Structure 1
């Protein structure tokens, strides 16, 4: 495509494409193309001017050649990228703002004063009606304050002041709506860009594919612990589905043949095959937007406090206005109080600060589902870690396979991988990955797989019963035995790794040794959490006492518990909360879900089970445990900034009232400064917090 270079410095180039402007879709397509070029660190496309700014680390020649090769028709952009780019929102509100300013200038410059007075009076009816409705609802809130200020100005025939106040209120409403929608849109877009895989059922097999490859009418298999990624209708199987993400009700509901299932819900028990109704990427995005905009329970206590405080101050503003008039008999001075209210800044700045913090967390690969969870992290004094995949690396590896029944190691590993590939856990992934590394094909050769939470897997291969799981599951629950002559081999198994046991027809067939190395950053992170105010750091694991003690000693936790079951973790969390402590729980598996749900804040590792991610309040990336410490510092900074905003808003607006009452500034000036300060504080609130 033809273009011209407008500005060029090392590492950054601005080009003008061969067009006067672009459509939103064209701009999004070009931006998607540029951002995905190897060596490009960032790209921004401006649809109005058809300009593009590219920041790069590769050679300048590579970037220029790539832009020259660009063709709209050759680029396939994911549907959700085009549907959720945010360009339409920005354009809509820019036009609304420009129309408001243009209409104000037109009235002042070209429309005669008598006509302006009529137009101003007509426009005031909207605000006066809203104020009267609020009074009829027996509330003294902000609309009453606005209606009084405008109404008194109209009665005094001060149409210029009334018009200025309405103009500033209109601008404020547009900016408030725009800022809030943009913050929500940016956040939701960041949260929705997750690529997941699903099992697709074809005529003769199950195939794992990317979510983006699923089409309407495809049949998808969802097993226990997995999230349902699309809306659809169940065609076979039966499951208990947790629909809390849609309905708020945590009690699972039964879903069988012929019933509907919805994107974002989780299969807690059972297995279903459903036919996809809607495969587009925007459904998850829409769900997240609704979650952020509509779910009052996700608001932090400080946000709610700001809203209530703003309305509680209205009677004092009205009382102060009346008192000022009685003492001075000066309407202008009394109006100065009405022109300044605390609500705009309080109601806008606080939610924006919280949304900005959530957005900042998402930029660091941490997805936060609501402001109240950041507030809870700031207040937390206890943190509970699961071990596997959390304090230890998210990608454990198989070190060796020991055969106890004479079968080749590779064949035993192939059977284990065939069972484990259906269930999301770091140990299972280690087995599947090792089979892949050895090029072992593990096609389906078993009957229905049953997963027993925190224990293992049971199935049949031909007529042989095969189980794989923990020592407790294999030897105590299933009463399997060690083959004759193999006790010495069993006793000599290495102690420095985790053991996964597989038995066939009641006899131990294999022990898979899995190395689960400690995260290098874990000791430093735990020390940082203690310095940040976490007084109790606990590790809970289903591993043996030997393994747990070794890890606990290395990372520096204050307490640890070994050989625990899922219900033990949840009971511990509930006991700590009952004692008045604020608890954070961090885990990655299906077995961590009860504890994640019971904690004040549940944090899931993104590499873990989907049910853990869905139930958790926050999800962090699997690569670096420092994100936990970042969240603690971010939460502390958020509380400090909100408290600072309180002081600035109350202090500045109180000063405006004082200046107006003493006659230093006019009411229109008070209104202008008040609205300007609201905008400045709101823009400041959108900035990243120090961590």
Structure 2
């Protein structure tokens, strides 16, 4: 598409597209198209002027080339734009704000007094009705104060003050609704599905197909730890399904033949076959929005206390108003008290501060499901890490396959890949990828596989029981043995690797040695967490003690626990919380799910298992552990902001009341200053907590670089 460069500075372009007009959807197409260009870091599209501002770190020629080849049809075909964006929502509330302000200016400048009086009387009906409704239900709420202030002003004939009060209240309502809906939309988008392929049952075989190719009536296989990507009905099997992301239920629900299952839920245990009843775009987003809007997770404890305090202060404000009149017999001084209350600012600025912090987290690729979890992160003194896929990279690699009992290493790897490809775990992925790298095809020649959480996989191959998993699983639980005369080879296995044990008919057939390298930033990230006030960092892993000890020493954790089961992790967190500690758990696998649920704030790495992401309270979509430090600093800054807001609101409004009672400030001025301060502190609460230089400082230089 033809475009002109309007302005250019280092790593920044402002361009104008030559098109008659640009719809909101076309603006989204352009924005997400440019975001997909390598090196582009930020894109802002202005649909009204057909302009776009592009910031980049890569080659200028790549951005220019992308603009030259752009077309709306091409971008539409690339399917880059998510199902829901916030552009239309922002436009709706921008227009509401602009129209409200312009109507106010027009009426003040051009309309005669009789007309503005009539308009004030008409608009007051809403506030008076809400106040009377609250009284009818026995509630002394902010609505009563608003109605009283408007009514008293109009009874005195001060319609200008009444109009000003209602104008400020309307602005506050728009801002509150806008911020809330925007935050809900962002959260719903963060919780949307990210599933590319699905296993389908075709006759006696299983086929992995792109999710876009799934048709109504297809039969989809769901196993332990799998996210259910489409709505359907169970036709065989049985599974415990976690539906928290849809219904808010904390306990998993049993799904048997005939039971409905919903897109976005996760199988915690068991497996089943689901007949697809709705393909993509079946309304999951809207269900998530409703769930979030109804969920108490949006409120932190501090925010909830502020809301309750605001309601408790209303009777005192009314009492102060009456007392002022009784002592002074001065209606003007009485109104000065009535026009100022603490409730509006408390109820508006606190939620905005929390929701704005959640929005800021998303800009750092951190998805937070509720304000209370930010509060928990700010207060945390203990952090528990899983090892595999968390302190180590989520992409371990197979270093060696050591055969036993005369088996062929290639054949054993082929068999292991055939079993492991069904399960979402980094170790399983490593085995599958190594088989692929060696060109080993692994057709389905086993019977139904069974996944035992935190242990391994059991199946039947050519009539023989086949197991793959941990040493505890195959040797202790299943009683497998090492072939005669090969104990020495077994004892000589390299200790620097993690091991997967493959057994056939009760005997060890192969050991797959997996290199699970530590994240480059792990040591420095843990040191930074200590610097942020974390008292104790703990590593818990199901790996053997020797490997765990080496990792613990290298990364600098305060203590470690090896060869633990999922329930051991959860028990440890439960004990820490009982001792009065606030605990964060960071994990990525199916076996981390109980611990993630038990912690004050469960944090999942996005590259991990679906069930970990769904159960967690916070998801880190970046693979850099320093995002934990950023999250901690945002959380601490949020708590500081909330406390500053509280002190300012109480101090400033108390000062206005005292000045009004003293006769220094008239009611109109008190109302103006009160509402202006409420709006000002709310707008301030919408700003970022971490300035760019400070945000950059959250990622210190890596040691040894």
**TM-score normalized by structure 2?**
0.92
1:421, distance to aligned residue in structure 2 (A): 1.1
Match of 2:602 in 1: 602
CA change 1:210–1:659 in 2 (3 A) is: farther
CA 307–552 in structure 1, closer or farther in 2 if over 3 Å, else same: same
Moved more, 466-475 or 313-322: 313-322
Change in Cα spacing, 1:109 to 1:494, as seen in structure 2 (3 Å) is: closer
CA distance in 1 between counterparts of 2:649 and 2:457 reads 59
Alpha-carbon distance, 1:168 to partner: 1.9
* Structure 1 residue 244, shift from structure 2 partner: 2.8
Deviation at 1:301, TM superposition (A): 0.4
Cα displacement string for residues 587-634 of structure 1 (whole angstroms, at most 9, x for unaligned residues): 222222222212222222222221122112122246222222332222
CA contact (8 A) 2:396 2:517 kept: yes
Residues 80 and 281, structure 1, Cα contact 8 Å, conserved in 2:
no
Contact 1:540 1:562 in 2 (8 A): yes
Aligned match of 1:257: 257
Contact kept? 1:376, 1:601, Cα under 8 Å: yes
Structure 1, unmatched stretches of 5+, are none
The answer for the alignment partner of 2:330 in structure 1 is 330
Query: In 2, are the aligned partners of 1:418 and 1:443 still within 8 Å (CA)?
Result: yes
Following superposition, the deviation at residue 287 of structure 1 comes to 4.1
Equivalent residue number for residue 484 of structure 1: 484
Aligned to 2:301: 301
Q: Matches of 1:534 and 1:667 in 2, distance apart?
A: 49
Aligned residue in 1 for 2:434: 434
Any residues of structure 2 matched to 1:146-165 within 5 Å, and which? 146-165=146-165
**2:703 equivalent in structure 1:** none
SS of match in other structure, 2:448? coil
Q: Distance in 2 between matches of 1:539 and 1:635?
A: 23
Q: Secondary structure at the match of 2:150?
A: helix
Deviations 1:238-296 (A, max 9, x none): 22212233333333222233321112222122222223334335844434433432211
**2:508 counterpart of 1:508:** yes
8 Å Cα contact 2:425/2:609 also seen in 1: yes
Count of matched residue pairs: 691
1:503 CA displacement: 0.9
Question: Where do 1:137-148 residues align within 5 Å?
Answer: 137-148=137-148
Cross-structure match for 1:551:
551
Q: Secondary structure at the match of 1:75?
A: helix
Q: Aligned partners of 2:116, 2:230: CA distance in 1, in Å? A: 55
Deviates more, 1:146-155 or 1:428-437: 428-437
The DSSP-based 3-state class of the residue aligned with 2:372 is: helix
Q: For residue 574 of structure 1, what is the aligned residue in structure 2? A: 574
Q: Distance in 2 between matches of 1:552 and 1:343?
A: 50
| 1:60–1:573 CA distance, 2 compared to 1 (3 A) | closer
CA RMSD of aligned residues (A): 2.4
Query: Which residue of the partner structure matches residue 612 of structure 2?
Result: 612
Match of 1:585 in 2: 585
**Aligned-residue offset at 1:435:** 1.4
Cα deviation, residue 325, structure 1 = 2.4
2:321 matched residue in structure 1: 321
Taking the aligned partners of 1:345 and 1:142, their CA distance within structure 2 comes to 11
Q: Which residue of 1 aligns with 2:185?
A: 185
Superposition deviation, residue 370 in structure 1: 1.0
Q: How far, CA to CA, are the matches of 2:315 and 2:396 in structure 1?
A: 62
1:498 and 2:498 correspond: yes
Change (3 A) 1:555 1:10: closer
TM-score (norm 1): 0.94
Query: Residues 157 and 179 (structure 1 numbering): CA distance in 2 closer, same or farther, change over 3 Å?
Result: same
Larger deviation, residues 337-346 vs 55-64? 55-64
Distance 2:355 2:213 in 1: 32
Aligned to 1:389: 389
Q: What is the match of residue 267 of structure 1?
A: 267
Distance 1:67 1:393, change over 3 A: closer
Bigger shift: residues 54-63 or 634-643 = 54-63
Residues 35-70 of structure 1 show CA distances to partners (whole Å, capped at 9, x for unaligned) of: 212332222211222222222344444433432332
- Do structure 1's residue 176 and structure 2's residue 169 form an aligned pair? no
TM-superposed deviation, 1:20: 4.5
Q: Is the 8 A contact 1:79 1:280 kept in 2?
A: no
Q: How big is the shift at 1:307? A: 0.7
Q: Equivalent residues in 2 for 1:378-527 (5 A)?
A: 378-527=378-527
Return the alpha-carbon distance in structure 1 between the equivalents of residues 82 and 621 of structure 2. Answer: 25
Equivalents in 1 of 2:18, 2:664: separation in Å? 55
Match of 1:377 in 2: 377
634-643 or 552-561, which deviates more? 552-561
Matched, 1:91 2:117: no
Give, in angstroms, the shift of residue 449 of structure 1: 0.4
The answer for the alignment partner of 2:221 in structure 1 is 221
Q: Which moved more, 1:350-359 or 1:144-153?
A: 350-359
Offset at residue 140 of structure 1 (A): 1.2
In the alignment, the residues of structure 1 paired with residue 167 and residue 216 of structure 2 have an alpha-carbon distance, to the nearest angstrom, of: 49
Query: CA contact under 8 A between 2:401 and 2:512: conserved in structure 1?
Result: yes
Asked if the contact 1:29/1:77 (under 8 Å) is kept, the reply is no
Match of 2:670 in 1: 670
